[in-house]
A = this chain, B = another copy of it.
Amino acid sequence: MEPDRQAYDRGQTIFSPDGRLYQVEYAREAVSRGSPSVGVRTAEGPVLAARRPLRSPLIEPESVAKIHEIDDHAAVAAAGHAADARRLVEVGREAATGHRIRYDEPIGTDALARAVADHVQEHTQTGGSRPYGTALLVAGTDGGLFEVDPGGTVAGWRAGAIGADAGEVRSVLAEGLEDEPGTLDRGIELALGALAREDSLEPEEVAVATPDAGEPATFSRLSSAEIDRFTPAS
């Protein structure tokens, strides 16, 4: 590494001469070291799917949290530092609860993503804390699907991916995505295919959450059996 860069890359509160925030870029590296998560918008609402990192056969797969419920109507899939993600989930839950109390209705997915992202942005500007080493895909039963990255940027996706090999995963998504949002089943298939790429995937290696058919719809997780139906055969 060149010496100049080292002059600017250890403080989250300083810019480099070319206007970069290195600590935020390094936090993005932390995200890209995490197992990937994907989201796909469908006509029946967005699908979230995440690959679980199982570092030992003694681990209980269910305990490795990659998808978190924010509220009945919204969920997030994370990539990067699991402990950081848990804290952002807490921030999201507080925003959702606060919105329900103030307005007596669920928070929009867009506003939820921005509330979390505002908290993330502060950690890129104010000293005394590092940025969050995690990215989130925020999905809601209102159809919204947004990414929050370690810089606090928000972007809406038709189909998105975060974590390891996100670029390649997105290529698989782009290939399979049609112009119009498809069925939920097609979305799950697409999401799991993108997570697997050339490999096969055991059902316990992934978590999937979708809006259910209820009125109002709530996010619920697929069982292993349900996932098994969609997992690409090896």
By a beta-carbon cutoff of 8 Å, the part of chain A in contact with chain B is: 1, 4, 6-23, 26-33, 56-60, 62-65, 81-84, 86-87, 90, 110, 114, 117-118, 120-133, 146, 151-160, 170, 173-174, 177
Contacts and interface: CB of A to CB of B under 8 A. Distances in A.
A4 B1 contact: yes
14 contacts: A6-B7, A13-B129, A14-B23, A15-B26, A15-B131, A15-B133, A19-B31, A19-B32, A58-B158, A58-B160, A58-B177, A63-B154, A65-B154, A86-B114
Nearest to A158: B58
Contact of A27 (B10, B19, B57, B155): B19
User: How many identical chains are in the complex?
Assistant: 7
Contacts of A22: 17
Given A19-B26, A57-B174, A60-B158, 14 more contacts: A10-B14, A11-B14, A15-B133, A16-B26, A18-B29, A19-B29, A19-B30, A21-B133, A59-B156, A63-B154, A82-B153, A83-B153, A86-B117, A125-B129
Contacts of A155: 59-60, 63-64
Contact of A130 (B7, B15, B28, B130): B15
A101 to B, nearest CB: 18
Contacts of A16: 26
Contact of A152 (B31, B83, B114): B83
A175 to B, nearest CB: 11
